[in-house]
Structure 1
């Protein structure tokens, strides 16, 4: 259980306008929500909506533009006062009601239920900041049976990668080798997740899902710990220098062929950069790998017992000979080649 001081520091951090500048300038983020909301007006027209952690209120305005009957925009920080100004500026003060409160303390008039809950709760590597807990509390407390969650699912992906900005970049600094500096830098960086942009070309293997979160059904206790043990064959020769994590969020769709027009907020290296960037777990020493060579690792993500809005990430390098491989496996070990050939022939 976090202390009142920790809670206050968390909410106060959202009063920094620079934080909201980053989010408002994040076009993939904003456009994903706008397309998901305005492209699915049937979910919003004449409906009651709750925006959990509304911030500046931009998502609430999208909902009003989609003809929502009423939007309860909940914001615990003092940014609620700015959100009121923005709502008035856009002429929606009769639709959007700003509630300056933690969602856990909110009581709606006549204990009414809402048709839709909208929230941008994602942090670095999806779960940093732990705001999803509050969204799930709002779901259980306020959402009608059969109501919609925007987004409705989320996935964390992980893949082995190179990290040139922490390794090869330092081989030559204006004609001076800085490998000793780089060695100490990587040692420091390997103690906590690093937030940076990683290019698609620097991924050494195919991604695997660390976890899949269903916002309709999962509870806060389901988010306490995730773990995966995996083996993947290197797609190319290169320097294995860490693991790259990113996430995607999926929104509901009114389309009969659900996947055809589904809006996905994708933070992968293959997509337009977002303010979340990617998260790297840095190895203190690079490992040279050849194409097809098995890369084996275990990754765990566990909620911190003292600060439940944070997670501890732990990576362990494994011996590919000593662990089970997925079937089929993309590595060049003989047993995996034979199993893959057998499966393809049948």
Structure 2
């Protein structure tokens, strides 16, 4: 087997309209590096014609390898699968909507050749992202950094290049839903950061809606921090203290023959306490759910089909 210098890993979900332009742009930029490369695409259970578009592209893109999940398992699992299937000495990951500019591939590869184990990127997207998304993204990274104790740059993304030994360490993680961005930072390898301007999507709409964003954020925090559990203990302590103080005041008032006014306010306090209680139960439930899923020993993903352009070319020659 010939040596591969660079693997380019791209997870896709319902990106049929972007496949051709994506592979053309990636191939064009990758051809500029002084070395061999492969393009590893993981179809995360797309419901449109993404897989068929990849089959067509394999006829002309000799560097393409593609893997199809049996169903949608999620972006991070698709990315992890691509890292697992990559054979290069360096592995570059990027999204398939062309917002991660393929033109930066040679520059990222050059920094790796200079000795950096991780070449991360920082995204600037004021022109293409809504104010709401920018604010929530910035807030998430600040919250994650505080809770997990792992410094995360605002604008971090999965557009990065890592050395193969960094990939090997990532694959050692046994997390059910690994937050790869956090894991890369946690490993602590020598890192260089490059800024980039996110482009507009080539076609289609984002698949990362508010529900997916919330799940992504909660998985990330539960993966790397137990601080929410510790905070829940202190919150429970102080709310209990407040409740006992209120109860003590009521008992004292009755002992003095006084009537305690304001049943509405008392009910309001009780409702608040019950609300806090349910929040704490939800936090605990998130950790228990993670343990439960991990104990089941299910595979993180299932590959139903795979194709390799070289194999297709060989079959055609034989025919």
> Quick check: TM above 0.5?
no
Based on CA coordinates, which of the two structures has the bigger radius of gyration?
2
Which structure would you say has the larger RCO, counting Cα contacts within 8 Å and 6 or more residues apart? 2
TM-score, normalization by structure 2: 0.31
TM-score, normalization by structure 1: 0.29
More strand by share: 1
More helix by share: 2
